[in-house]
Amino acid sequence: MSVVAYIMVKANTGEADRLRDDVLSLDGVDDAHIVAGDVDIIAKITVDSPAHVKEIAADGIQGISGVEDTQTYIAMD
């Protein structure tokens, strides 16, 4: 069974375009969009386990230079 999650990414000023491309290059990331609002990018991931969600969010996305903060939401349906 796959786990779907959405990761909200806050970027440093002027970094959203580059960060979207960096996020999209990570394994497990299905899509990433620059959005208006409290966050700058919303990424959708599909992986095999909740632990893999943490790996992508904490080790992958948060490790990219220019990422200010992330919030992760795991889909329940």
pLDDT tens over the chain, length 77 residues: 899 999 999 999 999 999 999 999 999 999 999 999 999 999 999 999 999 999 999 999 999 999 999 999 999 98
- 31 neighbors 22 (Cβ within 8 angstroms): no
Read off the pTM: 0.93
User: Residue 60: what pLDDT?
Assistant: 96
Q: How many CB atoms lie within 10 A of CB 35?
A: 13
Token output for 39: 């966050």
User: Residue 1: what pLDDT?
Assistant: 83
Question: By C-alpha distance, which of 2, 4, 1 is closest to 45?
Answer: 4
Would you say how long the chain is, in residues?
A: 77
Token output for 3: 């786990």
Strand (E) or helix (H) holding 53: helix 50-54
